[in-house]
Structure 1
Amino acid sequence: MHFHLGRRKNETGQWTTTISAIKDSVDVTESMNMEVIHKITDCGGRKVLNVKGIFFEVPIGLTGVDGNLLAKLRFHKMGGKNTYFVNEYRTAFRQNDAENNGVVFSSHPLKMNQLIEVQIDRATTKFPYGLGVGITTNDPNELAIPDHMNSLKVGTWMYYDRRLFNNSTMIVKDIGRNIDELQRGDQIGIMVKKPGVLHIFINGNDMGPNMAGIPDNVYGVIELRGKTVQVSMIEKHAKLMHIM
């Protein structure tokens, strides 16, 4: 990757700064995209502008058979303090050096039999454990988003490693697969099947019912923690199950 930083006056006499980049690699494909995001933070009483450009590849499964982008579930605009969103809220990632504060939610409550599924786009070897997935009755607009979702004591069901937790208490010891082992390209999803039974899907495989009595109007939750850095929403297996 080659970067160029330039500074010049524009037509009105104001100084402007331009940043350009060229990526010349066999890894570049037609599905590559780029977005630039920025945040203004306080640092010792000063305002600091942080600018970050993100190169990403639109994951397999976002394009329908007609070639159009599938306008389905997106991430909620509210997320943990280390989370960012690109690809029109279809892709979420956290800063690579941050261990937690990577909680993100579905944009709206899930319907019964609606699968929320993500694909792992990027991972790091810095941590031995990976993401968490689950559901919550808490509205992201009204929630003080925690650094770790399993610290919530109300309305939350979360999968970590082999276990399922309800309001931070373990209720299932072994779901049959350790989700910490998932790598880049793997897919994981959550569904509440009628009449309120929680299921987890790994690479399209239903791992079986794990909890009954789940209420309506729950949000899907993905926790970007540990080695899981970036995920994207997909509908690959939802389409195969005819539940989109």
Structure 2
Amino acid sequence: MAAVSDSYVRFHNIHGTNVRLDVSQTEATRTDSFGNGICFSEEPLDPDKIFLIEIAEKELGWCGNVRVGLTAHNPKNLESVPEYSLPDLVNLGSSWVFAITRNHNKVSTEDQESNPAPLQCCSTEAYLQIGKCKIPKDKLIGRSRPGRYSHLLDELYKTNILPATARGSRVGVLYTTHGNMGEMHIVINGEDMGPCARGIPINQPLYAVVDVFASTKTVRIIQVDYGLPSLQTLCRQLVQKCIMHRLAIDWLDLPDPLKDYCKYE
């Protein structure tokens, strides 16, 4: 397992009253009800860096799903964490949060309305580029749990056919800078769904917000390597190229932690 570095991303230890974090502070579970599930990034989010989560567990019986966004409120300075990100946190001001769906997240301009861009959901590019941010798509696209049909399900994640809130989907938030203002983008399984908010003041720190709401039960942070892929990533890619589907990883003569990394990351 890679050593924990200064760039290792965690959730803040201040969060909603129904949230339980694991010991690494990278997995958040809502333990009760459907609200009080707001989490924040431990550190402010740098421009052109993505805060990426995977929907790890779902809970039946609720309407609504995970919400993500940005806030200029330092969690330490909040009198109490709001019950909901929408509308409670947003009503405090200086917060930009969206419920995750496949549509309705983009800010329209007159040019976009008259000449809509074609949906690029099946790109074979190895990287997603948004402004100065260049992210390996290998990290951005969700994966099914290993099983007999996982190799087929993985293709559905790659083409973004599955619902954005399906278990295994990966959702990220980032912002780019334009002069003294920021523009927020939401990324779902490697597809840029933004810009979904413009004119965000960047003269103050911005924290990522994740609201583990309603039918979303558990989310976990996915660590993203920028630039050249890590040795871990290269090894995993090589292992996956040598097998028909991820279930076959269990047959390999490898240590269990490495098997788990190859199957789930």
Give your verdict on TM over 0.5.
yes
- Given that 2:164 and 2:188 are in contact with CA atoms closer than 8 Å, whether structure 1 keeps it comes out as no
2:2 is aligned to: 68
**TM-score, with structure 2 as normaliser:** 0.57
Q: Pick closer, same or farther for the CA change 1:69–1:114 going to 2, 3 Å.
A: same
Give the Cα separation in 1 of the matches to 2:184 and 2:229: 16
Structure with the higher fraction of residues in helix conformation? 2
Structure with the higher fraction of residues in strand conformation? 1
Q: Pick closer, same or farther for the CA change 1:85–1:207 going to 2, 3 Å.
A: same
Could you list the runs of 5+ residues in structure 1 that have no partner in the other structure? 1-66, 166-170
Matched, 1:113 2:96: no
Could you list the runs of 5+ residues in structure 2 that have no partner in the other structure? 109-118, 120-159, 231-265
Aligned-pair Cα RMSD in Å: 2.8
- Given that 1:115 and 1:190 are in contact with CA atoms closer than 8 Å, whether structure 2 keeps it comes out as yes
2:62 is aligned to: 127
Give the Cα separation in 2 of the matches to 1:240 and 1:82: 33
Matched, 1:197 2:133: no
- Given that 1:197 and 1:210 are in contact with CA atoms closer than 8 Å, whether structure 2 keeps it comes out as yes
1:190-231 per-residue CA deviation (whole Å, 9 max, x = no partner) reads 000122111000012212322222222110000011110111
**Higher relative contact order by CA 8 Å / sep ≥ 6: 1 or 2?**
2
Give the Cα separation in 2 of the matches to 1:133 and 1:242: 27
Q: Pick closer, same or farther for the CA change 1:112–1:123 going to 2, 3 Å.
A: same
Matched, 1:224 2:207: no
SS of the residue aligned with 2:77? coil
Higher radius of gyration, 1 or 2: 1
1:197 partner amino acid: E
Give the Cα separation in 2 of the matches to 1:242 and 1:117: 18
Give the Cα separation in 2 of the matches to 1:221 and 1:188: 12
Matched, 1:234 2:222: yes
Offset of residue 134 of structure 1: 0.6
2:17 is aligned to: 81
**TM-score, with structure 1 as normaliser:** 0.61
Equivalent of residue 99 in structure 1, options 25, 29, 34: 34
Aligned residues with identical type, % of pairs: 27
Offset of residue 142 of structure 1: 1.2
